[in-house]
């Protein structure tokens, strides 16, 4: 190992550690890696990136194709093309939890085969939460299966997931022959079948039953949560007994304590004569929250401190929302953001992966996956939805204004699939044309197309392509391939393919699958060359392993997205996902060399 290879390995290891610890935003980290590789290229041009190579990461077909796929998926949702599917799915919930689970897995896998699986989860998440609320099903029973089904379905076609697209473009650059649109389909369908059978027959018994804010909102007998109610200045309730007020206004709550000027007052609380500034510590159901907000002279502590003008509860709706991976809110507190005033909403509670941040949560830095309970007018919620700083999970209806265009959108998507299935038409070109046609035909406005793109993912992929290119250029990929050859080559190429899948699968549990694809595909190709085998089974091992992030909530974006929404714990994913990882690893090890011969 020479100095250049050692430096590339060091950069890669540090990048992986920072990805896993989530200390920085993934797009910031990806850009930082590109800058480091570009600076190193001035001193070691033979091993690191030249200015032209650095810029080529942004002009690579992979990020362009993925951006276009985000637009295509939004075209279907904005025209209501998927509404019929969701209506049928909701009706099946009345036949029981098992029937709904099976139907959910099958439908989401099918849709994910043609749309980016992250976009599919964003679309189906509010639908599933609404169905769970209406049929008294804990969302924790359905959201992990939703994420898993999106991963299964992404393996069916080339465009089902960004991982496949990244692998394809590395193969095209190194081998000058693309992976065809339906080349992964046979194996992908077996993946879907095995995954659905596992989740339906085994995994569902391992799924937890856990309360979340969604079930809190929808339950007929809602769980209570702790909050503090403040007696406002000039309140008409001053000098009235707390017991009388509780009987008239706060019957849906339990009083836990009262503080005045920071000092706790002794019970019995019902006999206390209220004064300005008194803080009443209570357990409140959501109906109790409405009672407080409808009572003149009382306010929830967050409202009083954030200076939100009190308005009647009847003019507002309660909405659950999650902090997405792309949000500028991450790392900042609600007080720093002046969130309530800027958006005209109230934040009544914050949940973090099953924990309720109820005490002074306005001073706690927000994280990806935090779940917020908001109250606002429908207009304010709609403005928040359009801004996309939060992912709204509650079933707030958004009117679809272009239903008459849905068959146009479906036709364009079908045309993209048909065009991409021809080997002589680059997928990036076809997807870009399809995205443009959605705008030209009025299915989308141009600003909606821009908003549809998850720029965090695009920048991440560009950065990881740069790291993969440096790994290849420095000789690091060849070094790893030779090492794998010495370790696994004696055991035969089948074991080498299985080992490639295993390494990629483990890496995918810790960092973005797109990053794994950009780094592992060159190594897989070099390994095949070292063994004197066809590179296709090795490449397919990386592709399918990139859609097998079942054991942690941090590797795959769809897992992280439903982590807070389902009230899951980290161990829930390992308990359900680890056996599935082993099952699909064995399946891939057995069948990939059959579908893609080693010689």
pLDDT computed for residue 311 by the predictor: 34
Q: Which of 76-80, 154-158, 354-358, 583-587 has the lowest mean pLDDT?
A: 354-358
Average the pLDDT over 150-156 and give the result: 91
pLDDT tens-digit readout, 313-359: 334 566 778 777 655 677 778 777 777 767 777 777 777 655 555 55
For the stretch 378-399, pLDDT in tens is 777 777 777 767 777 654 444 4
How confident is the model at residue 593, as a pLDDT? 94
pLDDT at 197: 95
Q: Which of 33-37, 139-143, 406-410, 577-581 has the highest mean pLDDT?
A: 577-581
Q: Which residues sit opposite 375 in a β-bridge?
A: 318, 346
Give the mean model confidence (pLDDT) for residues 576-587: 94
Q: How far is CA 439 from the centre of its chain?
A: 26
What is the arithmetic mean of pLDDT over 12-33?
76
Which residue is listed with tokens 């003008």? 309
- Residue 158 to residue 152: CA distance in whole angstroms: 13
Of the chain, the percentage scoring pLDDT greater than 90 comes to 15
Bridge partner list, 225: 284
Is residue 138 within 8 Å of residue 204, measured between CB atoms? no
Give residues with Cβ within 8 angstroms of 369, minimum separation 6.
322, 323, 352, 353, 553, 560, 561, 563, 564
- Specify the pLDDT at position 543: 93
Residue 89 clears pLDDT 50, i.e. is over it: yes
Q: What is the pLDDT of residue 315?
A: 42
Check residue 156 and give its pLDDT: 92
Q: What is the pLDDT of residues 212-245, one digit of tens each?
A: 554 544 443 344 455 678 888 888 888 888 888 8
* Rounded percentage of the chain residues whose pLDDT exceeds 70: 85
Which whole number is the average pLDDT over 434-451? 88
Paired strand residues for 356: 351
CA dihedral 44, 53, 455, 10 (to 10 degrees): -30
User: CA angle at residue 458 from 453 to 463, to 5 degrees?
Assistant: 165
Confidence (pLDDT) at 317: 67
pLDDT at 146: 92
Band the pLDDT of 20: cuts 50, 70, 90: low
The mean per-residue pLDDT over the stretch 194-211 comes to 88
Q: What pLDDT sits at residue 252? A: 63
* Residue of 241 and 290 predicted with greater confidence: 241
Number of neighbours of residue 196 by Cβ within 10 angstroms: 21
**Buried b / exposed e across 213-243, counting CB within 10 Å, b at 16+?**
bbbbbbeeebeebebbbbbbeebebbebebe
Do the Cβ atoms of 577 and 551 come closer than 8 Å? yes
Q: Which of 538, 476, 430, 572 is nearest to 139 (CA)?
A: 572
Q: Write out the H or E segment, with its range, that includes residue 80.
A: none
The candidate with the shortest Cα–Cα distance to 151, out of 595, 534, 577, is 577
Stated as kind and residue range, the H or E segment containing 200 is none
What is the rounded distance in angstroms from the CA atom of residue 316 to the CA atom of residue 575?
Answer: 40
Q: Give CA–CA dist 370/349, Å, rounded.
A: 10
Q: What is the pLDDT at residue 229?
A: 82
- Residue range 540-556: mean pLDDT, rounded: 86
Number of C-beta neighbours around residue 345 at 10 A: 23
Q: How do 345-352 and 279-284 pair as beta strands?
A: unpaired
The three state secondary structure string of 267-316 is CCHHHCECCCCCEEEEEECHHHHHHHHCCCCEEEHHHHHHCCCCCCHHHC
Residue 577's nearest CA partner among 597, 555, 552, 544 is: 552
End-to-end alpha carbon distance in the chain: 30
Angle between helices 570-595 and 185-198 (to 10 degrees): 140
Predicted pLDDT of residue 307? 39
Select from 599, 566, 580 the least CA-distant residue to 210: 566
Mean pLDDT of the chain: 79
pTM exceeding the 0.75 threshold for the entire prediction: no
Give dist(CA 374, CA 344) in Å, integer.
Answer: 10
**Band of residue 149 on the pLDDT scale cut at 50, 70, 90:** very high
Q: Which string of b and e fits 412-432 if b means at least 16 CB within 10 Å?
A: bbeebbebbbeeeebbbebbb
Q: Which two tokens stand for residue 433?
A: 């044309």
Query: Per-residue pLDDT tens for 409-431?
Result: 889 988 888 887 775 677 788 88
- Which residues, listed in sequence order, are joined to residue 320 by a DSSP beta bridge? 373
Cα–Cα distance measured from residue 284 to residue 547, given in angstroms and rounded to the nearest whole number: 42
A 10 A CB-CB count for 138 gives 19
Across 101-115, 351-365, 435-449, 543-557, least confident range: 351-365
pLDDT of 222:
40
């Amino acid at each position: 190992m020479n100095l250049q290879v050692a430096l590339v390995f060091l950069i890669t290891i540090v990048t992986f550690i920072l990805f896993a610890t989530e200390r920085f935003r993934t797009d910031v980290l990806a850009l930082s890696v590109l800058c480091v590789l570009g600076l190193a290229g001035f001193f070691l041009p033979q091993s690191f990136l030249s200015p032209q190579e650095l810029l080529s990461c942004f002009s690579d077909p992979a990020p362009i194709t993925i951006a276009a796929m985000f637009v295509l998926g939004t075209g279907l949702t904005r025209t209501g093309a998927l509404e019929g599917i969701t209506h049928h799915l909701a009706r099946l919930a009345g036949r029981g939890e098992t029937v709904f689970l099976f139907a959910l897995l099958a439908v989401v896998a099918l849709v994910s085969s043609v749309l980016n699986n992250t976009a599919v989860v964003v679309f189906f998440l509010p639908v599933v939460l609404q169905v769970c609320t209406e049929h008294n099903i804990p969302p924790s029973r359905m959201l992990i299966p939703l994420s898993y089904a999106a991963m299964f379905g992404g393996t069916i076609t080339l465009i089902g997931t960004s991982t496949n697209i990244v692998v394809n473009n590395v193969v095209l650059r190194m081998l000058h022959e693309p992976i065809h649109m339906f080349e992964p389909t046979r194996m992908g369908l077996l993946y879907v079948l095995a995954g659905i059978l596992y989740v339906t027959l085994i995994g569902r018994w391992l799924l937890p039953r856990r309360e979340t804010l969604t079930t809190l909102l929808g339950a007929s007998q809602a769980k209570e949560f702790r909050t503090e109610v403040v007696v406002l200045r000039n309140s008409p309730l001053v000098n009235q007994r707390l017991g009388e007020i509780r009987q008239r206004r706060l019957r849906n709550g339990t009083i836990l304590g009262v503080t005045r000027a920071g000092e706790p007052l002794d019970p019995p609380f019902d006999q206390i004569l209220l004064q300005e500034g008194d803080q009443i510590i209570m357990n409140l159901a959501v109906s109790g929250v409405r009672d407080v907000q409808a009572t003149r002279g009382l306010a929830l502590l967050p409202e009083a401190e954030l200076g939100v003008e009190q308005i009647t509860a009847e003019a507002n709706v309660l909405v659950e929302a999650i902090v997405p991976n792309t949000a500028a809110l991450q790392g900042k507190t609600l007080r720093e953001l002046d969130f309530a005033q800027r958006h005209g909403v109230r934040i009544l509670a914050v949940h973090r992966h099953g924990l309720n941040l109820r005490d002074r949560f306005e001073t706690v830095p927000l994280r990806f996956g935090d779940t917020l309970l908001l109250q606002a007018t429908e207009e304010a919620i709609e403005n928040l939805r359009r801004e996309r700083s939060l992912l709204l999970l509650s079933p707030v209806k958004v009117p679809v204004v272009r239903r008459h265009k849905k068959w146009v959108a479906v036709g364009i998507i079908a045309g993209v699939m048909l065009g991409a299935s021809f080997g002589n038409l680059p997928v990036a070109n076809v997807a870009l044309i399809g995205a443009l046609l959605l705008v030209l035909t009025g299915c989308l406005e141009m600003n909606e197309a821009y908003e549809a793109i998850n720029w965090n993912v695009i920048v991440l992929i560009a950065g990881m392509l740069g790291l993969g290119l440096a790994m290849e250029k420095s000789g690091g990929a060849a070094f790893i391939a030779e090492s794998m050859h010495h370790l696994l080559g004696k055991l035969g190429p089948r074991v080498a393919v299985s080992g490639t899948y295993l390494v990629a699968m483990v890496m995918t549990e810790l960092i973005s699958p797109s990053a794994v694809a950009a780094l592992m595909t060159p190594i897989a190709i070099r390994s095949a060359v070292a063994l004197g085998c066809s590179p296709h089974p090795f490449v397919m091992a990386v592709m399918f392993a990139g859609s097998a992030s079942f054991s942690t909530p941090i590797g795959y974006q769809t897992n992280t997205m439903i982590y807070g929404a389902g009230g899951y714990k980290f161990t829930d994913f390992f308990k359900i996902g680890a056996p599935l990882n082993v099952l699909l690893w064995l399946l891939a090890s057995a069948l990939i060399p059959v579908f893609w011969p080693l010689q």
